[in-house]
Copies of this chain bind each other. A is one copy, B any other.
Amino acid sequence: MTPSRDLVARVAAGAVPAIGRMISRAEAGSPEARPALAEIYRRAGRAHVVGLTGVPGSGKSTLVATLTAHLRKAGQKVGVVAIDPSSPYSGGAILGDRIRMADHVCDAGVYIRSMATRGAMGGMARAALDAVDILDVAGFDTVIIETVGVGQDEVEIARASHTTVVVSAPGLGDEIQAIKAGILEIADIHVVSKCDRSDANRTLTDLKQMLTLGTLTAGRTEWRVPVIGLSAYKGEGFETLMTAIGNHRRVAFETEAGARRRAAIARFRLEKTAETLLIERFTRGAAPVAGPLAERLSTRDGDPYGLATELLEQALAPHASGAST
């Protein structure tokens, strides 16, 4: 394993292989990587982190690709951390989404990384935010976190950014719309994709109306959430989106509300990291003792709460977890 100090220095110099290796270590979550990730964190804080989410079929990936192209044209280096659904068995991240990013793969000013969602229990958020810091330290000006807007973890990650963009598309089915309702409230900027379609106006109007009624703003007053119609097909709306992202960047970095947001992100991150360490300690301690307790539960010689309490006591005992007091 490359010594951590060297690796961090090479990440900071923008060396692509070092960036990839550092993110892999963050993703694996091994304790050996932590000193380097701690050093990364201390050096980070310069990049504008944009969370981008939307339900399946909303045109999220096309938007990320086009947004990346516009940010590049404006002279920025762009990092993308894409949280992908993954199989509970096979563990492979699905790369289909990335195909649309093919235009950017030969551009040294763009770094794209897909991360799997497996290994939950706070681990995904922790790993994704570590990856964002790595790209930040490596000199990327804007780092986009792209998540599918389903599942509480995915939504929380999209919120843990300076600027959250939520993409909606016209004419999705009932069930998709129902899922969508859960993510509309987290938007700093609403985007309606596929605005070349005739039913897009309805989606635009609905969103604007919800914003006017105050049902989506969650009490925020420092920023008027815009609703921006886009057409990747016609190439329309992207300049407006770029302006909105730039304006919100100023809110994030230069206002009291932005400072509160960054404090909330730090709190979220502290808790997610603590949960990861906690589950790790518990899992290590539980492995040798869970079998007999599960057997008792299986035969109903005990109940889940009583046996789980026993498991906790045994797993967190200093001699079991290897922790010193």
Contact = CB atoms under 8 A, between A and B. Distances in A.
Contact of A306 (B38, B156, B174, B316): B38
A213 to B, nearest CB: 14
A80 B116 CA distance: 31
B56 A156 contact: no
Contacts of A175: 56-57, 61, 96-97, 148
Contacts of A186: 88-89
B267 A294 contact: yes
B293 A282 contact: no
A279 B176 CA distance: 31
A266 B299 CA distance: 9
Give the interface centre of A156, A270, A308 by most chain B CB atoms within 10 Å: A270
Interface stretch (A67-75, A118-126, A234-242): A118-126
Interface majority SS on A: helix, strand, loop or mixed? helix
A6 interface: no
B263 A38 contact: no
A253 interface: no
Interface residues of A, number: 88
Interface in A129-175: 129-130, 148, 150-156, 159, 173-175
A42 B267 contact: no
A307 interface: yes
A225 interface: no
A87 B151 contact: no
A169 to B, nearest CB: 11
Given A185-B88, A274-B312, A278-B282, A42 B290 contact: no
A173 B110 CA distance: 27
Contact of A300 (B42, B173, B276, B291): B42
A192 to B, nearest CB: 18
Given A56-B56, A118-B152, A151-B151, 19 more contacts: A34-B305, A37-B305, A38-B304, A39-B303, A42-B300, A57-B175, A88-B182, A90-B185, A94-B181, A96-B174, A150-B150, A151-B153, A151-B154, A263-B298, A270-B293, A274-B282, A274-B309, A275-B282, A277-B309
A94 B270 contact: no
Contacts of A294: 263, 266-267, 270
